Structure 1
Amino acid sequence: MTDAGKNLTADSVEGMVRLSVLLPMPFAGPLDYLYAAPVSEGSILRVPLGPREVTGVVWPAADTKRPSAPDKSDRTVSVEKLKPVAGRVDMPPLTPDLCRFVDWVAAYTLTSRGRVLRMILSVPAALEPPPVQRIFAPGRERPARLTPARARVLDAIAAQGPLSARAAAEAAGVSESVVRGLAKAGALTMREVSADAPYPLPDPTRPGPALSDEQAAAAAAVCGAVTAGEYAVFLLDGVTGSGKTEVYFEAVAAALSRDDETQILVLVPEIALTSQWLDRFEARFGARPVVWHSDVGQAARRRAWAATARGSARVIVGARSALFLPFRKLGLIVVDEEHDPSFKQEDGVLYHARDMAVLRASLGGCPIVLASATPSLETAVNADAGRYRRLRLTARHGGAALPDIRAVDMRRDPPPPGRWIAPPLEADMRDTLARGEQVMLFLNRRGYAPLTLCRTCGHRLECPHCSAWMVEHRFQRRMQCHHCGHSGPVPPACPSCGAEDSLVACGPGVERLFEEVGARFPEARIAVMTSDTLDHPSETARFVADIAAGNVDIVIGTQIVTKGYHFPQLTLVGVIDADLGLRGGDLRAGERTYQQLTQVAGRAGRAARPGRVFLQTYDPAHPVVDALVKGDGARFMALEEDGRRRHAMPPFGRLVALILSGRDESAVIETGRRLAATAPSGQTPGGEAVQVLGPAPAPLARLRGYYRVRLLLHQRGLGRVQALMRDWLKRSEPVKGVTVKVDIDPYSFL
């Protein structure tokens, strides 16, 4: 092969093929290279880039199935100036529908295709040959001296099959030198095999639990689309505990039964990927799925990526980034808890995994299931319009009843000063514990207290890098910022006035609630469940198993406790501050609070014993609280829909956020002024009214040392805004040191 780093002569390029290669970098488009033979689109290559080699993908030419994109390969470069491809990667090509998916995501999010491709090629180690390990099998020779240790090694390998030196030594209770000695004597033979063992295959023929009539009808609808191999979107709308998982498990079984190549993707909110879910899957299919999320180690990620690309990973369950794995043949996508805000990616490429999953199913021609007890308004509107098919599960599985929900008016029944549990909830907690049942207290605030101030001078402890308060974590004896992660010890004196013993905690966090519960219920076994106390899946698994086994009496937790757990003995849920999520001007504050409180209430009474939920609130008449108490979520969502429709807010209009950030505050403000000066106004070419709000300091005006300013474009209609945004950004002169992020369909307004 010609040296990759050198340009070719006119004679040497004869017979070579010109290729457009997309690199996983924020370039304007693909780069052109030469290759000695034709190669299929989607093939992964090694190509030179300056003094180094990088990985790229042979990119298909634009066609009518692809969105128009501003970045195109420059074909004006003569072939003599092109460099040859360094080599091919031994990996199947990316499929045509995956390449189209990259193009669509890039065009929709106003991101370069290279940045989206980088999310596909997220595990460079998977593109290298897999590591090998040495294993030992019985040899032809019999050792001249057969000691008891050697005999145990031979027996272990005879019983278990070929083993590595370490595994054989552990099985026999000897050192690895005994194994190697047997190999040297010819009693064992050694060979090298891939370190990546094949994943166990799930068995779709294993019978699942008996389904109710509603479940069976829903499963039949989805399985019909799976068997036909056709694109369709199903909204699986079922109350908490109605058995939605068992319904889509039937669809998974149908997809696995189609052939030996069909793959299934199940997306879940990352914190909902629990051992309980994995145990249920294993019980149903006899093997665990391939798992993909941020806590998976590099070796496991390499193995999972490669197995997905080669098609040997049949079922993958993971967080939002699993959507960008290189599937060979997707036959079904499931988005569980589709309403969950964690499906929105807030860094890098800004996308919503639920919406992009629907797009990927469309491009791949496979069905997709969106499952939730509290569907998002966007999904519900699509179902009402007939774009999605709604499948309802109105009753809890196995005869369990939905919990009784009541509001505790904190104006009439306040707790004593310095406490946070109202008397009616405390009384029911005592009765519940007396019956041997479990209690869950929900407060969506980590740490001991959200604010620490000086009682002498009023100074508030603030993060030095963010416009946010430092949160005391008394368990760890540290102060921490929940936005940038900055932490430090609790100061012995006020940093402002120097007064000692003057710092006081204001408001409750889960640790402070733990302190109160411990004082009020000294005999109870109490545990706190937050992302601070459970920082690894294995710890979460042990914690959840303890609760399910009845080894915990009172569980105190943040939103992590709302995610699909099933605790048969849990009958009482107390929400300490039901108004917490309703504060502020977030567009979706009411919807999110209703969804979150419905989910946490759904942990109560999921088995034979009835459940009760107490919502501590200062506004019992609020539509969210009223809907929860009356069990009338449909009416609340109808009110939300009516308000959004009247003001042309999503899903009846479009929002686009521009987030400006930089180290120099004045440069950030100047960029905002320039953008405002060239902002579109009036109407779009399609006749839809457009308004731009801002610039204004972001609610979180400083984050990780960067100053932040926001602008918000509102379009009263559902026409595409991408061309409008590209034109706007081109008209505004950039300012050095300021980054402009474009967030189509923003979910966070911080």
Structure 2
Amino acid sequence: MQRVRLLVFNAALGVLDYRVPQGVTIPFGSIVAAPLGPRQILGIVWEAERLSAQEVPDAKLRPLLEVMPVPPMSERLRRLIEWTADYYCAPLSAVARMALGSTAALRGGGTSTEYRLTGAEPARLTPQRAAALDALQGEQASIRELAELAGVSEGVLRGMVGAGLLEAVTVDLDRPYPPAAPDFAQPVLSDLQRSAADVFVHAVQDARFAPFLLDGVTGSGKTECYFEAVAEALRLDRQVLILLPEIALTENFLRRFEHRFGVTPILWHSSLKSSERRRAWRAIVQGNAQVIVGARSALFLPYANLGLIVVDEAHEISFKQDDGVRYNARDVAVMRAKFEGLPIILASATPALETMQLAEAGVYRKIDLPSRFGGAQLPDIQVLDLREQAPERGRWLAPPLVEALRDRLAKGEQSLLFLNRRGYAPLTLCRNCGYRFQCPNCTAWLVEHRFSRRLACHHCGHEAPVPDACPECGTGDCLVACGPGVERIADEVAEILPEARTALVTSDTMNNPQAIGEFVAMAESKAIDVIIGTQLVTKGYHFPDLTLVGVVDADLGLEGGDLRAGERTYQQIAQVAGRAGRGEKPGEVLIQTRHPEASVIAALANGDRDAFYAAETEARRDAGAPPFGRWAAIIVSSEDQAEALSAARAIGGTAPDLPDMLVLGPAPAPLALLRGRHRFRLLINARRSAELQKTLRSWLDPLDFPKGVRVNIDIDPYSFV
């Protein structure tokens, strides 16, 4: 009798064996349906010798029910899933689930019914219908998805169908995507760009593992260089994966891609409608999807014929997932390229220190673009010492920055003000009794959002209206906003330059591709004079008339004790500075700080990236920090504080005493309460030679914890909250 071993998508079930019906052959990697009690579950047929399972007699095995009509998952992808689970100490089933993408996509063919506005004039317009008409312009989806988009009930939309305001459309679930044309628009490249592009094109032709670091200053044309490699992969009928750190970057990127290849690429991210996700997954697994642009999760999809991976803005911390499987997509992308045997390009103007070290060691081949395209010059950078050039009382912009804003407005040029803090103010308190508004679920202050008149927690999403009186002492008209957020800076700009047209760019205001597209169109048409934004504006945008960048608080990222704070601050400010002077007009960057002597600020002011990297490298080497040592974090949480503390102490009390590992903690996490759970952390600092993952498993696996306790391992952590 033939039996198979299934990896099922439930870590609690482990691995299960089943019987194969007589006369049926099921290759490894096949996705199958199997019985489990009265239910059906999905699983992947895996090599039995690679997964341990409880031995079950042949007579007790139940037969598989069905093999799903999709190609088996390749051996290369299965090895990547195993490597990721092993390296990040994650359940194998949780990693494998990311490859599935869409359970609805496992069965092909058929049609679905979607709905769209008819354009008819309504005879009777309720507030809900009016909201739906505004929100659903240009949208087509199921009733449920349209209801979520419009923020109304499904009943409202069904009433609109009956009134002739929405119409049904029959959609082919597997309709093909229009093909991209590799020679649709031939770019004009500089000699440096052409040289870099030729290297990438040859690597695609060679079809073997070749990791590259494309290190180019902002505005140097990195995208055009790797687009030539994309074009070559298309000519060879191979698939391409381009990873972007945030969906906010997608709209601008899609326009550039369409200009070069004639069509938009296929998108993959968490905000896709279920029908879009299903269609994309089937096209990917069948090899019909040519170029896929996606966030982290696109990395594990079962590509039929992958020929190139590009990680754009490869330094971005958004590539590190901080919940679920805590993996770094940049590093796993390199491993996928290695398993698949194909080239990978890591593109960045400010590479991560770990990436730079691998390039210097010769593991990655470094390709440099040291100058901007078309003769554009890098901006002039000046530091404003706020101890000497203080803003007016109650304001946050220093006089030289205010004068520079006025000058650009008079010249008809655009300015950008950067502050990586959403909302109006980070803290609201009562001037009478000192009461501070704190999140009930987290160890965090509630942030005032004046535009929506709400107090919000940026960690768990808790919101509350701004009260008229202090909830502690009952005094009215006594609440004070402390510190600036971008909304407060926008108010200050409106006072200083009342005639200026402003745009606020944050994840609150730019929360969908349509809003981002409208912002880009307005900025390019010079309908905006001053952009005020968070880190969403630091990368990816090219506005030729933007000549001034003001960094409102360069010290903000250096606070909080983050072990990568210096590197992260340098990258963020260097990226936002790179938005200035990208066209013919020269750019200027003014950095406000109270610590001009800090190495990060000095390096930015002098334009000396190498000096900063050298100093940061030595500091990391002395501390045994990555890339010269290893970090891992153990996060213990529970809704019961005493229970979490007891579990953390049990872990700390059984910590191994090894010469190549140092265990720090347990200690309360900086966010000691998050989403209603009390949290404690242990930090492990290990030498490169240490068998870190093996040690963690042998240390933690024998321990038992109460059901309410969660113990998460974070290998190579980026967040220390």
Compute the TM-score of the two structures, normalised by the length of structure 2: 0.91
SS at match of 1:288: coil
- Which residue does 2:471 correspond to in 1? 495
Give the superposition deviation at 1:196.
3.0
- Which residue does 1:214 correspond to in 2? 192
CA distance in 1 between counterparts of 2:112 and 2:677 reads: 47
The letter of the residue matching 1:41 is F
- After the TM superposition, which residues 217-232 of structure 1 pair with which residues of structure 2 at under 5 Å, given as runs? 217-232=195-210
- After the TM superposition, which residues 678-693 of structure 1 pair with which residues of structure 2 at under 5 Å, given as runs? 678-683=654-659, 689-693=660-664
- Which residue does 1:47 correspond to in 2? 34
Correspondence for 1:699 among 661, 670, 676: 670
Say whether 1:538 aligns with 2:514.
yes
Give the superposition deviation at 1:544.
1.1
Kept in 2, the 8 Å contact 1:269–1:337? The answer is yes
Q: Could you report, residue by residue, the CA deviation over 1:396-441 in whole angstroms, capped at 9, with x for unpaired residues?
A: 0111000000000101110111001100011111111111100110
Kept in 2, the 8 Å contact 1:29–1:72? The answer is no
CA distance in 2 between counterparts of 1:274 and 1:610 reads: 27
Kept in 1, the 8 Å contact 2:417–2:533? The answer is yes
CA distance in 1 between counterparts of 2:96 and 2:177 reads: 26
SS at match of 2:10: coil
Correspondence for 1:102 among 50, 75, 81: 81
- Which residue does 2:708 correspond to in 1? 737
Give the superposition deviation at 1:134.
9.7
Kept in 2, the 8 Å contact 1:270–1:319? The answer is yes
The letter of the residue matching 2:29 is G
Say whether 1:112 aligns with 2:91.
yes
Kept in 1, the 8 Å contact 2:108–2:174? The answer is no
Give the superposition deviation at 1:719.
3.5
Flag structure 2 segments of 5+ consecutive residues without an equivalent: 115-160, 163-168
CA distance in 2 between counterparts of 1:404 and 1:433 reads: 19
CA distance in 1 between counterparts of 2:371 and 2:273 reads: 40
Paired positions, count: 667
Q: Could you report, residue by residue, the CA deviation over 1:626-656 in whole angstroms, capped at 9, with x for unpaired residues?
A: 1111100111011001111112111110111
SS at match of 1:656: strand
Correspondence for 1:57 among 39, 44, 63: 44
The letter of the residue matching 2:501 is R
SS at match of 1:230: coil
CA distance in 1 between counterparts of 2:689 and 2:714 reads: 16
The letter of the residue matching 1:31 is L
Q: Could you report, residue by residue, the CA deviation over 1:80-120 in whole angstroms, capped at 9, with x for unpaired residues?
A: 10111111111111111111111111111111211111111
CA distance in 2 between counterparts of 1:544 and 1:62 reads: 53
Kept in 2, the 8 Å contact 1:448–1:509? The answer is yes
Correspondence for 2:220 among 237, 242, 254: 242
Say whether 1:353 aligns with 2:329.
yes
C-alpha distance 380-682 of structure 1, shift in aligned 2 (>3 A):
same
CA distance in 2 between counterparts of 1:212 and 1:354 reads: 28
- After the TM superposition, which residues 344-383 of structure 1 pair with which residues of structure 2 at under 5 Å, given as runs? 344-383=320-359
Kept in 2, the 8 Å contact 1:30–1:59? The answer is no
- Which residue does 2:234 correspond to in 1? 256
Correspondence for 2:686 among 715, 718, 734: 715
Correspondence for 1:424 among 400, 403, 407: 400
- Which residue does 2:635 correspond to in 1? 659
Give the superposition deviation at 1:27.
4.0
C-alpha distance 667-193 of structure 1, shift in aligned 2 (>3 A):
closer
Kept in 1, the 8 Å contact 2:173–2:275? The answer is no
Give the superposition deviation at 1:194.
3.2
Larger deviation, residues 404-413 vs 674-683: 674-683
Correspondence for 2:53 among 68, 73, 91: 73
The letter of the residue matching 1:572 is L
- Which residue does 2:106 correspond to in 1? 127
Kept in 2, the 8 Å contact 1:60–1:99? The answer is no
- Which residue does 1:86 correspond to in 2? 65
- Which residue does 1:24 correspond to in 2? 9
- Which residue does 1:391 correspond to in 2? 367
Give the superposition deviation at 1:61.
4.0
Correspondence for 1:747 among 715, 718, 721: 718
Flag structure 1 segments of 5+ consecutive residues without an equivalent: 1-15, 64-70, 136-175, 178-190, 684-688
The letter of the residue matching 2:283 is A
C-alpha distance 134-553 of structure 1, shift in aligned 2 (>3 A):
closer
Give the superposition deviation at 1:73.
2.5
Correspondence for 1:578 among 538, 554, 557: 554
Kept in 1, the 8 Å contact 2:249–2:540? The answer is no
Say whether 1:332 aligns with 2:304.
no
CA distance in 1 between counterparts of 2:549 and 2:261 reads: 33
C-alpha distance 28-390 of structure 1, shift in aligned 2 (>3 A):
farther
Give the superposition deviation at 1:28.
6.4
Give the superposition deviation at 1:209.
1.2
C-alpha distance 28-387 of structure 1, shift in aligned 2 (>3 A):
farther
CA distance in 2 between counterparts of 1:82 and 1:517 reads: 71
SS at match of 1:273: helix
- After the TM superposition, which residues 425-440 of structure 1 pair with which residues of structure 2 at under 5 Å, given as runs? 425-440=401-416
The letter of the residue matching 1:246 is E
CA distance in 1 between counterparts of 2:49 and 2:527 reads: 60
The letter of the residue matching 1:215 is Q
- Which residue does 1:565 correspond to in 2? 541
The letter of the residue matching 1:98 is L
CA distance in 2 between counterparts of 1:515 and 1:112 reads: 48
C-alpha distance 718-520 of structure 1, shift in aligned 2 (>3 A):
farther
Give the superposition deviation at 1:216.
1.3
Q: CA RMSD in A?
A: 1.7
C-alpha distance 286-333 of structure 1, shift in aligned 2 (>3 A):
same
- Which residue does 1:400 correspond to in 2? 376
Kept in 2, the 8 Å contact 1:579–1:618? The answer is yes
The letter of the residue matching 1:194 is D
The letter of the residue matching 1:128 is R
SS at match of 2:701: helix
SS at match of 2:280: helix
Correspondence for 1:200 among 178, 186, 206: 178
Kept in 2, the 8 Å contact 1:678–1:732? The answer is no
Give the superposition deviation at 1:62.
4.3
Give the superposition deviation at 1:274.
2.8
C-alpha distance 663-430 of structure 1, shift in aligned 2 (>3 A):
same
Give the superposition deviation at 1:615.
0.2
SS at match of 1:274: helix
SS at match of 2:714: strand
- Which residue does 1:513 correspond to in 2? 489
The letter of the residue matching 1:229 is A
Bigger radius of gyration among the two: 1
CA distance in 2 between counterparts of 1:709 and 1:193 reads: 50
C-alpha distance 405-208 of structure 1, shift in aligned 2 (>3 A):
same
Give the superposition deviation at 1:734.
2.1
The letter of the residue matching 2:538 is T
CA distance in 1 between counterparts of 2:113 and 2:102 reads: 25
Give the superposition deviation at 1:205.
2.5
CA distance in 2 between counterparts of 1:677 and 1:475 reads: 49
CA distance in 2 between counterparts of 1:229 and 1:129 reads: 31
Correspondence for 2:429 among 453, 457, 466: 453
- Which residue does 1:144 correspond to in 2? none
CA distance in 2 between counterparts of 1:547 and 1:194 reads: 37
The letter of the residue matching 2:550 is G
SS at match of 2:366: strand
CA distance in 1 between counterparts of 2:691 and 2:521 reads: 48
Correspondence for 1:266 among 222, 229, 242: 242
Q: Could you report, residue by residue, the CA deviation over 1:488-545 in whole angstroms, capped at 9, with x for unpaired residues?
A: 1001111111111111000001111111110110111111111111111111101111
Give the superposition deviation at 1:245.
0.2
Compute the TM-score of the two structures, normalised by the length of structure 1: 0.87
CA distance in 2 between counterparts of 1:368 and 1:622 reads: 35
